[in-house]
Structure 1
Amino acid sequence: MALPPPALTLTGLTKRFGSKTAVDDISLDIRDGEFFTIVGPSGSGKSSLVRLLAGLDTPTTGRLHLRGTDITEVPANRRPTAMVFQSLALFDHRSVGQNIEFAMKMKGVPQAERRARALDLLRLVRLPEDYYPRPVTQCSGGERQRVALARALGSDPEILFFDEPLSAIDYRLRKTLEVELKELHQRTGKTFIYITHSLEEAMVMSDRIAIMRTGRFEQIGTPDEIYRRPNSRFVASFMGEVNILEISRTKGTPHFADLDLPAPQAPGAFAVLRPEALSPGAGEGPSFDALVTQKLMLGSRTQFHLRAGNTALIAEVAAGPRSALEVGQTARFGFDPADIAWVDS
């Protein structure tokens, strides 16, 4: 039995602005019903890419297919897609209900049907029905986010795009909305394509993550794959704090040059070790003495900044007896070789 086509297929997608290449020959299948997040630093090309995917811009070369149909030249208002912008772009002179109903009204949906659908969407995004007549200017930041979501869903899109919609709100509300967005994705079953520079947002919400760098995808995988098995130093460093140890073979056998320790089974030029994989005590794996230079309390975890010779390292341990070390102490730290990710560049 043939599998259904992907929700969206990118083939050689490229966008140039004069001599600058913002999106560089990207090919990819985005699965139906997937929460797919594109992460990258400023200037990596992620916003240019989402504009191509949403029909707000046309590629220089390459094609874009929606469930097997070529939509490369189809403008945004004729695609079965919707977008939630960073600015939200709500109509401040209209009520909550009028904002939600806007796309439906443009399609000629009767008023009674629009209202019923808008009330359903208010419940879906966890706003009371009595918000329907409220001026959108009287809504809080989090409420405006929900109204923008409801408005985007009003046209019943097959794909919903998000261009950093949570970047301008405070941390506590952002964490709440991350969970709600993930739950909304699960309830609607729609394909979500999300753009962000935030590692935390990507890790919490995504089925797959693409790390973008200079117009290309550096790595694509599940949050766990990207975090635990990065394929380059760039991805490892971008996905949070990390220890990167160079491997030397000048002594005939591989060893950690920074720590002057043997490196068992070293298939790469660099060993990537997350802070939580480095812990006090000498186990069966490699271990070394290190001076504690800083101690940071992170709630349920404690972070130690270490110095072993000329090498700076970071370790994180759960709060408890193992976190009793203090600044100025020297202690043994060790790690399990199984926790190492190997990269060559």
Structure 2
Amino acid sequence: MAEAAARQTDRPVILSLAGLTKSFGHLKAVDSIDLEILEGEFLTIVGPSGSGKSTLVRLLAGLEAPSSGTIRLRDIDITLMPANRRPTAMVFQSLALFDHKTVGQNIEFAMKMKGIAPDQRRARAMELLNLVRLPEAYYSRAVTQCSGGERQRVALARAFASDPEILFFDEPLSAIDYRLRKTLEVELKDLHQRTGKTFVYITHSLEEAMMMSDRIAIMRAGRFVQMGAPQEIYGSPVNRFVASFMGEVNMFTVAAGADGTPRLTEIDAPAPGARGAFAVLRPEALTQGRNGEIQIKARVTQTALLGSRTQVMLDARGLPLIAEVPGSPEGLQPGVLAEFSFDLANVAWVTE
């Protein structure tokens, strides 16, 4: 997967992993991972709790030592290099700011530890305040007087202070309210584009991953299940786990046609423990009316307004379905028997 991504761009590989493994007793939190991270890309790693994503990023940042395998920064083996010697920086979920220091002191901390002169530190801090869109007057402000969004920006400025080649993020927006999180997602993506730095981002939020990433890697039980561009993973999942993990989904059982290829023969819920091929259809591809190739009559069980669209919960002969339609359409009240349809081109075929 990583090799294919590398061939599709002229970006060089900046960080490569080979057989990277981290065990805690008998548990392999990271299990023999191979990966190539491209210079300047925004790679997001997602997965359920316990999938190994946070352990992986700690290995990459030098905060954990692997049990086996190698990490190479371009042509240099940095597998056992301590974090403070790597040209990388990390933004933690807790932000880890010094509450007894000012904004400027937080930003300058790493530079001070390296013996950089005060006037140079201050000049760099001012540059970074501009980079993260904070007023220069914040330089002397106590970090405890900053809002949640401002603290996030201070943490970002501090991470950029040493001019790292790669920045790692471990769920930095998870504790922020929805409106501010959406604002910071836009600003992070903009910051990535303006600086050209390599971002490796860990999150449990699929919205964050879809909005910001060049590539998404999905982890499960210490391994990558699928890796690709956001729309590729969303529209063409490799299995039922990825299909369900990447958002709301309708899933049907299918049977092999006469030529052995999967055919949608009837709409039916996957039986417990069912194996074989499954048809995956995203809610927005199930449209109201009879314009699609496959028509469905289903009873509306519930509706929910989601801003500019409405989510419609349906029952098609015992199979629960989800559709998303534009606006707030009339005639889709609970209890109504409605017609929906979809095109086979919008169906993704997956296996167990």
Partner residue, 2:6: none
- The 8 Å contact of residues 6 and 29 in structure 1, kept in 2 or not, is answered as yes
Shift of 1:9: 0.2
Counterpart amino acid of residue 312 in structure 2: F
Which of residues 254, 271, 285 is equivalent to 1:277?
Answer: 285
Deviations 1:242-286, CA, capped at 9 Å, x for gaps: 0011113599994444359xxxxxxx7101100000011112401
> How far apart, CA to CA, are the structure 2 residues paired with 1:40 and 1:256?
32
Distance 1:286 1:259, change over 3 A: farther
Which of residues 211, 217, 225 is equivalent to 1:218?
Answer: 225
Q: Secondary structure at the match of 1:295?
A: strand
> How far apart, CA to CA, are the structure 1 residues paired with 2:41 and 2:11?
14
Partner residue, 1:120: 127
> How far apart, CA to CA, are the structure 2 residues paired with 1:216 and 1:100?
35
| Residue 299 of structure 2 is aligned to residue 297 of structure 1 | no
> How far apart, CA to CA, are the structure 2 residues paired with 1:101 and 1:250?
66
> How far apart, CA to CA, are the structure 1 residues paired with 2:264 and 2:18?
43
- The 8 Å contact of residues 253 and 268 in structure 2, kept in 1 or not, is answered as no
Counterpart amino acid of residue 149 in structure 1: L
- The 8 Å contact of residues 128 and 160 in structure 2, kept in 1 or not, is answered as yes
Which of residues 172, 175, 183 is equivalent to 2:179?
Answer: 172
- The 8 Å contact of residues 302 and 319 in structure 1, kept in 2 or not, is answered as yes
- The 8 Å contact of residues 259 and 288 in structure 1, kept in 2 or not, is answered as no
Which of residues 134, 138, 142 is equivalent to 2:141?
Answer: 134
Unaligned runs of 5+ in 1: 261-267
> How far apart, CA to CA, are the structure 2 residues paired with 1:284 and 1:188?
45
**TM value normalised by structure 2:** 0.92
- The 8 Å contact of residues 11 and 38 in structure 2, kept in 1 or not, is answered as no
Query: Would you identify which runs of 4 or more consecutive aligned residues in structure 1 move more than 6 Å?
Result: 250-253
> How far apart, CA to CA, are the structure 2 residues paired with 1:230 and 1:324?
33
Q: Secondary structure at the match of 2:140?
A: coil
Deviations 1:159-200, CA, capped at 9 Å, x for gaps: 000000000010000000000000000011000000000000
Unaligned runs of 5+ in 2: 1-9, 270-275
**TM value normalised by structure 1:** 0.94
Q: Secondary structure at the match of 2:254?
A: strand
- The 8 Å contact of residues 245 and 256 in structure 1, kept in 2 or not, is answered as no
Q: Over aligned residues, Cα RMSD in angstroms?
A: 1.7
Q: Secondary structure at the match of 1:132?
A: helix
Equivalent residue pairs, number: 335
Partner residue, 1:265: none
Deviations 1:48-103, CA, capped at 9 Å, x for gaps: 10010000011111000011210001000110100000000001111000000011
Give the 5 Å matches for 1:6-25.
6-25=13-32
> How far apart, CA to CA, are the structure 2 residues paired with 1:4 and 1:163?
24
